Amino acid sequence: MSVKTASVTPAAAISDFWRNHRLDRLAHGIAIYGLLIGLSLLFIFPFFWMILSALKPEAQIYKWPPQWIPDPIQWSNFSDVFGNPYLPFDTFIKNTMILEVGMISGRLISCTLIAYGFARLEAPGKNILFGILLATLMIPNAVLRIPSFILFNEFGWINTFKPLIVPAWFGEAYAIFLMRQFFRTIPKELEESAVVDGANRLQIIFRIIVPLSIPVLTVIGILSFKDIWNDFMGPLLYLNESSKYTVSVGLAYLNGQYNTQMNLLMAASVVLMLPTLILFFVAQRAFVEGITMTGLKG
């Protein structure tokens, strides 16, 4: 008794393999992109709800089931919050920009000099000092609030911008770490050539290192801008007059003791969120480049 077996040609086997492979890749791609889209919607939803709430009358914000489309669209929320004479947001924005300029410039200059020293100069105990510097990242800011306040009070700096601006001119551990790692990717041959041409250290830093380090400087600038713009505890602790408040402190005043006009709070939040978003999208390319290249020693 003979048994017939079906023969499969090599071409058919190869065709089945690639068809199954394409189906696996398609299923894998659908799963990955579905997960990414779901997570993106999860993170975007609070911003979407904030924008909708900024355009609603206050009563519609608390409706259940939610009313997704504002009816009517209440553009007056923006004029009501930014036209309030008791909350001069133009003054708050001006004060915040003073802090931005003073703190970012101080942080970039001081951290560039310190990071260059750790990256290029040779000194006994340099690695130990760098380790101590990184260890300060583990200290909670809340631990330093009371000693810092006592120190600045002795200096007579309370109710001025000095307690916020002056410390930025003495470096910041995370920025120094990022800059040091980036500086180590720059070939030393460029500095050696500059030394042969008679350049001193400061000329090397500001004519060679800084122009080549625009990506990491952009990263530090964007992160610093975001931190200063959103800082609440620092201005609240050291500033006592409303004429010196920043946007974060001014925004907190929209939270009343017994009642909060949520539509006005959301309108102010939408407008005050725009500067950081615009800055990120304008400098996005340099920001990503600075993050990806940091730590790659060539």
Q: Indicate the number of domains in the chain.
A: 1
Domain with 245, as residue range(s), is: 78-293
Is 71 inside a domain boundary?
no
Q: Are 254 and 261 in contact, with CB atoms under 8 Å apart?
A: yes
Q: What is the pLDDT of residue 104?
A: 94
Highest mean pLDDT among 8-12, 25-29, 152-156, 201-205: 152-156
Is 57 inside a domain boundary?
no
Q: What is the pLDDT of residue 280?
A: 82
Is 205 inside a domain boundary?
yes
Chain mean pLDDT for the chain: 85
pLDDT, average across residues 245-271: 82
Q: Are 221 and 104 in contact, with CB atoms under 8 Å apart?
A: yes
Q: Where are the alpha helices (DSSP H) in 55-158?
A: 58-61, 76-82, 89-120, 126-135, 141-155
The CATH number covering residue 119 comes to 1.10.3720.10
State both tokens at 156: 């007579």
pLDDT digits (tens, 9 = 90+) for 80-92: 888 888 888 889 9
Give the residue with greater pLDDT, 47 vs 292.
47
Distance, in Å, from the CA atom of 164 to the CA atom of 152, rounded to the nearest integer, reads 10
Q: What is the pLDDT of residue 295?
A: 52
Containing H/E element for 51? helix 10-54
What lies within 8 Å, CB to CB, of 258 at 6+ separation is: none
Is 262 inside a domain boundary?
yes
Q: What is the pLDDT of residue 16?
A: 61
Distance, in Å, from the CA atom of 266 to the CA atom of 51, rounded to the nearest integer, reads 7
Q: How far is CA 252 from the centre of its chain?
A: 21
Is 260 inside a domain boundary?
yes
20-24, 26-30, 35-39, 194-198, range with the lowest pLDDT: 20-24
Question: Is 96's pLDDT higher than 70?
Answer: yes
pLDDT digits (tens, 9 = 90+) for 40-76: 888 888 888 888 888 888 888 888 888 888 888 888 8
State both tokens at 234: 């620092």
Is 93 inside a domain boundary?
yes
Is 155 inside a domain boundary?
yes
* Cα distance between the two ends of the chain: 72
pTM of the predicted model as reported, rounded to 2 decimal places: 0.81
Is 17 inside a domain boundary?
no
